[in-house]
Amino acid sequence: MKKYFPITLIISALVLTLGCQKLDVPNLNQPEKANLYNDPHDLENFGQGVYYNYWLNERSSNFDPNINILTEAMADQYTASWANFGWLTNSGTPRVAWDNVNTLSNDGVLENFYYGSYGVISQANTVIHQLLIDKVQLGSGGQHNSRILALCYLVQGLSYGNLGLVFDKNFIVTENTKDVTKVTTSPYKTVRDSAIKALWKVIKICDTATFTLPGSIFNNIDITNTTLKQIANSFIARLEVLTSRNTSDNIEIVWDSVLYHANNGITSDFGSKFSGWPYNGGTWYDLNFYYLNLPDWARINCRIINLMDPSYPARYPSSGVAPNVHAGLLPGQASSYDHRLQSDFQFLPSVNFKPERGYLFFSHYRYSRFDKYYLRTGDVMTEFREYENELYKAEAYANLNQLDKANAILNSFSNPRFLRGLILSTPSTSKLNMLKVIFYERDIELLGQGFMLAFADMRRRDMLQYGTPLHFPITGKELQTLQWPNYTFGGTNPVPDGINTSNGGWFDANGKPVDSNY
Amino acid sequence: MRRTGLLFLLFLILQQYALAQVVITGTITSIDDNLGLPGAAVVVKGTTIGTTADIDGKYKLSVPQDATLVFSFVGMAQQEVKVTTQTVIDIVLKYDVFKMEEVVVAGVASATPKRNLSVSVTRVDSKALEDVPPTSAASALQGKVAGVTIISSDGTPGSSSNIRLRGTNSLLEGESPLILIDGVTFEGELADINADDIENIDVVKGASASALYGSNAGSGVLVITSKRGKFSEESSTDIKFRNEYGGSSLEREIKLATHHPYMLASDYIQPGYTKYAGVTYPAGYAGGHNDSIKGSPVLDYDHYADNPYSSIIDQQKEIFRSGQFYTNYISVASNSKKTTIFTSFENNNNSGIVFNSTGSSRQNYRINVDHKISDKLKISGSYLMTQNEIDKPNDEGSGSPFFNVLHMSPDVNLNMNSPDTMVLKKYYYKPDQWSNGENPKHQLFYEQSTQKRNENLLNFSANWTVASWLNFDGSYSMEKQNVDELLIKPIGYQMDNLQDVNGYEAKSSSEYSSQTAQFTANLQRKFGELVTKAKLSYLFEKYLTDGMVASGNDMLASGLTTLSNVTNSLSMNSAETEILAKNYFGILDMVYKDKYITSLLYRIDQSSLFGPNNRTNPYYRASFAYRLNEDIHLKGFQELKLTAAVGTSGQRPGFYYQYEAYPIVTNSSIIQNGGISANANIKPANTQEMEFTVNSQFLEKFNLEIARSYATTTGVFFQVPQPAATGYKYQWANAATTSSNTWEVTFGTQLIKKKDLDWTINLTFDKTVQKVTDCSAPSLPVGPVINGQQIFRVGKGSVIGQADGYTWVRSINELKQQANLLPAGKTVDDYTVNSDGYVIPKGTEGTYLEKPIQLLNPDSTPKVVKIADFNPNFNLSFSTNLKWKNFGISMLWVWKQGGDIYNYTKQSMYLDLRSGDIDQFGKPDYQKKTIDYYSTFYNLGNINSYFVEDGSYLKLRELSFYYTISDKTIKNLSKSYLKNVRIGILGRNLLTFTKYSGWDPEVSTPGANGSGTTIYIVYMFNYPNYRTYSVTLELNF
């Protein structure tokens, strides 16, 4: 036995050594919550990521379906007969109710945006809480606190603003919410007000502190407190205008306030630099540009071509035969005094959509303005165009009956209407015609940009097709989680009320465009 | 007390010697050749007194006068003889056809003959694998063991089968069992393990049997043991050569439409394309996408897909071809008195059946060594190295070549060259003007997608016998697995017309390694007629993963694989994890009077995967078996054993479940908000199983085993949805309880056993019912993502493997339930049931207005109902082996009865009107349906009952013919060392009888986490299974 004693000893030692090994294994791949919050450096980086998360959520992260892509078709700005993103179901005629079950193939269209928004809000709230309640100091002596605080309030505001654009009601959770599970829902106007309240906080911080947010946050240029304040003002203007569900809501808009914020808004385009498509390793991208502009995927609705060429049919002929509009041009080809028809749109003589899905989806035009992004030569993807801000000013002036000021903006030679469209004069100085020009410009020049612009512009004029949901219900999955009854909007049964479901429309029984309901 | 114990022991010893002794001699021979069986054992029943036969099978043993002698030999049926007046006892041992003497080591305290098992462990030995050698260990168990579900969902060479033992205990589609190879916990691909080296596979099915393996064995255990040299007094060397060469091909094609519904030009037959009315083609046009084409096809008035194309090309033949495969194998087993060595090499090459793919090329090297340092100390080593290089299509599913080939119109020329302006000249990427589909041949020809897998398995063990009743085992095992992947899209490669074309490369490299150390004390002692075996063990486990991936765009030069060749959009990522576990267990197996058998086990597992608040979890087993016929001799029964067992085992949580962490965005300086909340309380899922078994042998010919298993798994992992206001989408939680119950029947018979004729038949049957009995979350989707949705549902009371979706009104009574939702002015009387059994508006049959009515909710949205159950009614396999003189024939049939398949492939084909269902040519007018009718069922890709198909099939899995040239014949022919030669013709997956309309009914789709599955039976454009046929030559020296 003695000769085996050393072996016994070795085995015993090994068992003891291994048996005492601790089982707490760190996660080396992701920063853990506890460490993140305790380390000002990590917390600052966490805070700096909020805008990126907001951007990605709004623009379809990693090829997930996105509500913005669907509403572009529901607003009859784009057209697509494919089932992807809920296009075919939700952008046909007659319109159907939004199917709010979570078995739908495109339920992610709404779900991704919904949960993503709250994820971003949670991130912003966490950082704000750490800074204000737990008094964490970022940078030397807390010198970075103001800029990160302003950034987080900006994203909190933008996220609630977008939720208010999409849903009929939402949960409002802020850095001061003690128990998130006890929060009840608020209607969309309250959600908008909450967004604006957060954006006002941005403005106030920017008024009292001087800072520069590094360019990496927006994947573009450095943003000073002065510029950030302008950005917050412009977004307030946008939210005040676009949250309207119908003409009744639109009448309630306080145009003085819109004008105030637009006047204090941005003076140059605000956006992030494109860094490549996700399948190429890119991290900053806008999948609205991708899916909506591939020629075989989506095309420009005839309604838009008709705006530029009133002789062009606003709806594709039900015969399926391309319209011969102009002598000397090919079937399906349009002509316009607006040069943007040539610069931003590509004519395609053939349509490879499926006839059996309906000729109403057909179109001979696609949007080619963003083709440079396919080739990864695109630069800034604008989140907020200066021109959009100018158009809010113009719309505010028009509604405040300061028509000369509105006219001055619309006829400015520095505007794309002149620079790109080569349109030299406004047709009239009447308020109605001026508003028509404003919406024309929003349809043509801002096409495919921003969030929900086309859909919001149509609904606030009661111009969405009859039966189109004016906003969306809380997602079926969330209702199921909360064990709340399911509900939905849209369709023709029950009869549309103009509050949750459009009872208006942009064309008459013959498919002819009607005058704006504005 | 101590003194009393010693006196009792002394009494027992004296009692042994008080009996008169007698010396028995004799010879133990085999019934097969009447030759002696060297090494055969003879033991006095109920004692450790015994000896082994010498080289001629002779033995000599001094035994008590009234002893009962037990004669045994591996693979032979044990025999008992009562000593009365004999002094010479010659015994002829018969083959143990029913393997009741087979010794099992898995799941028990120590080597135990099957007859003394009290839990379900089934052994598949090398003999069962010899006739049709599996191409790898992945398919070795198919059709051979009741209760084992194996689905080869993917025909890609080098891919593994999905394995499930009894019911699933997981909702996360990874229900595969724990696999141990020569003591090493194996996490690699079974497809990389060659079957020629396998000595046996012990299938430890239920939780009660697998309790020994604790928190890693909730889904059962496969214990694979490789061949080794055998200790013998005489040195010897055995050499085996095996070569197999064969071909492979797709068994059948999917039926596609050869007609369309569009109006034709009068001169529609054109070279390279079909000319449609309303379309103007440029001069010289010969097919393919062309921006100069004007106009669009218009639907013919009748909307029937019965118009001809200008030509019909079988597109499936364009990408599927006959493949070839071969296996070269050599093994050498040699032994000396103290050392044995088994070493082998296998080279396996399988091209698969897809165009321009070289398939899998695999090499295996093995060496197993055993050495006796002394009579008390033995050391062993096992080492296996494998390498597998796989060239395969980059993609499966939508957008893959398998998708595109089924979406191409039959007039499209996939071999057409690209326009001159394009860099890549062959197989124009967009050969069809009217489809978004890409040319599958372009994909297969230009995309380079390879995977290299290297696997190293190492085990050192030592056994130290301290006393006859006590020995120690110590072992150290290591697995190291490296997987390198490369994807190159060359300069000029494009799949849509706006994509940049400067080339793309992605490279990944991952390493998985494990180290385990185990120390065990084995005790065995006999107390009178009570034989006890006990084991106390400590097991330490450490697992590491480390992976990197990098990609980039814009290649500088063609034909390079270095990442320095890409210059843009560079992206990189890496991740590493460490998992630790410590486990302590003890097991006590007892056999009393060779008829009362019991096993008690207790185990404690601690793992870093368990949440910090639940770091320790216990497991147990108690089992009892009673060999009834030892007491009550039922006429005709040679064995009748009743077994009952209860035990627990578990499943470990995933690495990330417990951490509240935030992802870092690749290629940026951003920390994201996490979508998944942490759970510090996460603990292993716990499966408790009760098992009842009846084993019987009767009429000297038949063997019947019936097993019934009831399993309940609590704490099943699930991503529980969180209210959005929390900021999280999910939280990993022990959220559900599942239950399964399984019937297993194994029946075997040796119908004929004569000198030159041997015929055996085996049947296995199983049926499993499994469901979710409790769930803390509402009914939610799980499983694979199909067209953006997960169709499988879990919720309290749901079947595991149930799919929900939309469905159609099938009767007027059903329509009455939603009469208030009919269009204005319509009543139920305005509807009828059409010839397919769907409710449609009256008078619309055969017109474009004929559209089935969807089942609706009261708010007029489509109703979601259970549409499919993917669990089969039963599985049955039938195998037979007939040997006549030197000829042998064997076959294995498998029958899966019931169990649905969701044929998403077909649904997708409805989009482009490519399914053969849509073709109306040749049908009488009154039977014709319009494309509008079929498009309604397509339902925008939403899952609906129309595409649920019966997944039943009967498959001839294996067929072989062998001729063996015996050693006598060979010795007559030559004086060589050649012992025998086997020549065989083999076939695998030769015939399938099914109503399923896809390529092969043996399908499944990986779940959202990428793990293989046996429960999510959805087909969506995977590499199809195929048949193989081959010849083999085996030489034994």
Over residues A166-198, the pLDDT tens digits come to: 999 999 999 999 998 889 999 999 999 999 999
A16 SS3 class: helix
**Chain centre to alpha carbon of residue B312:** 39
- pTM of full prediction above 0.80: yes
Q: Which of residues 498-517 of B touch A (CB under 8 A)?
A: 498-500, 504, 517
B819 touches A at CB < 8 Å: no
Coil, strand or helix at B287? coil
Query: What pLDDT does B949 receive?
Result: 96
Q: Suggest the residue from B301, B569, B851 to mutate for an interface test with chain A (most A CBs closer than 10 A).
A: B569
Of B724, B781, B943, the CB nearest to A115: B724
Please report the residues numbered 554 through 593 in chain B whose beta carbons come closer than 8 angstroms to any beta carbon of chain A.
568-571, 574-582
Structure tokens at B876: 């049955």
Q: Find, in chain A, the residue whose alpha carbon is nearest to that of B658.
A: A27
Q: Residue B891 corresponds to which tokens in the numbers above?
A: 């076959």
Rounded CA separation B650/A188 (Å): 48
Look at A119 and B664 and tell me if their CB atoms are within 8 Å: no
Instruction: Examine residue A473 and say whether the peptide bond preceding it is cis (omega within 30 degrees of 0).
Output: no
Chain B residues 470-489 with a CB less than 8 Å from chain A: 472, 474
| Residues of A whose CB is below 8 A from B612 | 24
Cβ–Cβ < 8 Å for B22, B49: no
To the nearest whole angstrom, how far is the Cα of B294 from the nearest Cα of chain A? 5
The yes-or-no verdict on residue B11 having pLDDT over 60 is: no
- What pLDDT does B32 receive? 63
- Return all residues near B74 (Cβ < 8 A) that are at least 6 apart: B103
Q: Model confidence at B9, in pLDDT bands (50, 70, 90)?
A: very low
Instruction: Please check whether residue A355 touches B, CB under 8 A.
Output: yes
Q: Is A350 on the interface with B (CB under 8 A)?
A: yes
- The beta-strand segments (E) located in A316-361 are 345-347
Closest-CA residue of chain A to B503? A280
Distance of CA A186 to the CA centre of its chain: 21
Residues of B in contact with A36 (CB under 8 A): 662, 671
Tokens of A208: 């009292």
A375 touches chain B (CB under 8 A): yes
Interval B898-908 mean pLDDT: 93
Q: How many helices (H) and strands (E) does chain A have?
A: 22, 10
Chain A CB contacts of B660 below 8 Å: 32-34
Task: Name the stretches of chain A with pLDDT < 70.
Answer: 1-8, 11, 14-19, 61-63, 102-105, 426-428, 516-518
What pLDDT sits at residue B98? 57
Q: Assign B498 a pLDDT band (cuts: 50, 70, 90).
A: low
Question: Residue B974: its pLDDT value, please?
Answer: 60
**Taking CB atoms and an 8 Å limit, are A18 and B582 in contact across chains?**
yes
**pLDDT recorded at residue B7:** 46
Q: Name the residue in chain B with its Cα closest to that of A87.
A: B940
> What average pLDDT does range B50-64 have in this prediction?
83
Q: Does B795 touch chain A (CB under 8 A)?
A: no
With 0-12 / 13-18 / 19 or more C-beta atoms within 10 angstroms meaning exposed / middle / buried, residue B1013 is: buried
Length of chain A: 518
Q: Output the six-digit token pair for B852.
A: 């089935």
Record: contact A52-B672, CB cut-off 8 A:
yes
Nearest to A30 among B496, B664, B779 (CB): B664
Question: Is A33's CB within 8 Å of B726's CB?
Answer: no
Q: List CB contacts (< 8 A) between B498 and chain A.
A: 293-295, 371, 374-375
pLDDT of residue B174: 66
Q: Residue B1010 — pLDDT band, cuts 50, 70, 90?
A: low
The burial of B275, by beta-carbon neighbours within 10 Å (0-12 exposed, 13-18 middle, 19 or more buried), is given as middle
Instruction: Note whether B804 contacts A: Cβ–Cβ < 8 A.
Output: yes
A 324-343 near B (Cβ less than 8 A): 330-331
Q: Which residue has the higher pLDDT, B743 or B823?
A: B743
DSSP string, B120-155: -EEEEEHHHHHSS--SSGGGTTTTTSTTEEEE----
Kindly report the CA angle at B626 between B620 and B629, in degrees rounded to 5? 165
Are the Cβ atoms of B569 and A349 closer than 8 angstroms?
Answer: no
| Concatenated DSSP letters of B382-401 | EEEEEEEEEE--S--STTSH
Rounded average pLDDT over B972-997:
85
Nearest to A21 among B580, B668, B862 (CB): B580
Across the A:B interface, residue pairs with CB atoms under 8 Å apart total 286
Query: Quick check: B861 and A281 CB within 8 A?
Result: no
Residue located via tokens 């995309």: B447
Structure tokens belonging to residue B661:
């962490």
Is the Cβ of B729 closer than 8 Å to some Cβ of chain A? yes
* Residue B942 with chain A: CB contacts under 8 Å: 103-105
Q: How many residues does chain B have?
A: 1037
Chain A residues touching residue B865 (CB < 8 angstroms) = none
In this predicted structure, what is the pLDDT of residue B886? Answer: 86
Which residue from B82, B207, B27 is spatially nearest to B647, judged by alpha carbons?
B207
| B868 burial type by CB count under 10 A (0-12 exposed, 13-18 middle, 19+ buried) | buried
Chain B: residue whose CA lies nearest to A276: B569
Give, in order, the Cα–Cα distances in Å from A88 to each of A70, A474, B821: 10, 22, 22
Kindly state the helix (H) or strand (E) to which residue A146 belongs, with its residue range. helix A145-166
Position B1 scores a pLDDT of 44
DSSP H helices in A323-465: 340-344, 371-374, 386-399, 403-410, 416-419, 431-444, 453-459
Query: Cβ separation of A181 and B725 shorter than 8 Å?
Result: yes
Q: Which amino acid is at A163?
A: L
Indicate if the pLDDT at residue B477 is higher than 70: yes
- Residue A267 C-alpha, separation from nearest chain B C-alpha, in angstroms: 28
CB contact under 8 A, A103 and B940: no
Question: Residue B17 pLDDT > 60, yes or no?
Answer: no
Query: Averaged over B596-603, what is the pLDDT?
Result: 94
The pLDDT of residue B528 is above 60:
yes
CB-based contact, B865 to chain A, within 8 Å? no
Min Cα distance A107 → chain B (Å) is: 8
Return phi, psi of residue A16, to 5°: -65, -45
How far apart are alpha carbons A58 and A159 in whole angstroms? 9
Picking from B288-297, B660-669, B885-894, B1025-1034, which range would have the lowest pLDDT averaged per residue? B660-669
B128 φ, ψ to 5°?
Answer: -70, -15
- Closest Cα in chain B to A127: B673
State yes or no: pLDDT of B14 exceeds 60.
no
Mean pLDDT calculated for residue range B915-923 = 96
Among B residues 926-985, those touching chain A with beta carbons less than 8 Å apart: 931-932, 935, 940-943
SS3 (DSSP) at A42:
helix
Q: Which residues pair with B711 in a beta bridge?
A: B689, B740
Which residues 177-216 of A are in CB contact (within 8 Å) with B?
A: 180-181, 183, 216
- Give the integer Cα–Cα distance in Å for A307 and A127: 46
Sign of CA dihedral B176, A105, A82, B920: positive
Q: Which residues 6+ apart lie within 8 Å of B917 measured at CB?
A: B257, B906, B910, B934
Nearest chain A residue (CA) to B936: A357
Whether residue B331 contacts residue B367, with contact meaning beta carbons closer than 8 Å, is answered with no
- Residues of chain A neighbouring B575 (CB-CB closer than 8 A): 29
Task: Please tell me which of the candidates A27, A48, A104 has its beta carbon nearest to residue B942.
Answer: A104
Chain A CB contacts of B489 below 8 Å? none
Whether B932 and A89 lie within 8 Å, measured CB to CB: no
Q: Which residues of B touch A282 (CB under 8 A)?
A: 569
Closest chain B residue to A123, measured at CA: B673
Asked which of A22-31, A490-499, B45-54, B548-557 is least confident by mean pLDDT, the reply is: B45-54
In the predicted model, what is the mean pLDDT of residues B300-308?
A: 95
